[in-house]
Structure 1
Amino acid sequence: MKANSSVATCNCFAIRQAARFVSQLYERHYAKAGVTAAQFSLLAFIAEAGKVGMSEIAEAMVMDRTTLVRALKPLERDGYVVSEPEGKGSRKLLLALSEQGKTKLAETVECWHAAQAEYVELVGAKRADELRQMLLAIPAGATA
């Protein structure tokens, strides 16, 4: 870094530091349900989508397919996520939650509520909402 640069002015440093802090907070709550924050995000996204393809998940989660496949493996292994061909003869697989996955998501949502409440308590409801909106706008603006 140049003499007039520091981690205090680095956007990446600040975002990654905050992301680690928030991830640790949420991970502590999700551990009670036996899932990680990444797994919860995948379960929730797939549940909202109904049936969804890998490329749609990867794009929405801003993940490369290899990372997504690794993240999905334990969810498929544990029977929470199932896949089926999009149609007869199609090579494209659609992912959906199994009944077991829906049950696990419902259990984990309680942990999510507790994590959300703790986070809002730390940063304030208005700041939490504003920050979330700003962060969600970053990848949306980058792809527009």
Structure 2
Amino acid sequence: MPQANRILVVDDHREFGDFVQRVAAKAGFEVSVATSGAEFKDVYHAVQPSIVCLDIVMPTEDGIELMNWLAAERSRAAIYIITGHSPSFARAAVAIGRSRGLNIVGVLQKPVSLDALRNILKAARDGTDMVAAD
């Protein structure tokens, strides 16, 4: 069962995870950061996050493969797709995740602004879904 106010970020660029961690911690969230698919899987079980921020383009194991894994795990977490690629790429990732029964709530388009991240965190805290950039 996902634990409220727990966020797990997986992004091969550690700086992005650190950015989310700093901002979310100030908003009262517990944040864990993984930089690879293997690390993500280990941390996911330990943390049981209510929110997952999932980078789609990563070396070795990409976000689509991790979405397949999350679907097999029957994840209930609210999932935000992270990408620095074109919005059409992000829309395809959202469609893939939703087709696998995942709770894809939106997209964080890099570079993510501080205001956009704060708005998403506020929506999560308030229990409302918010799409950052769909």
Do they superpose with TM above 0.5? Answer: no
Higher strand share: 2
Higher helix share: 1
User: Which TM-score tier does this pair reach, normalised by the shorter chain?
Assistant: under 0.3
* Length-normalised TM-score, structure 1: 0.23
* Length-normalised TM-score, structure 2: 0.24
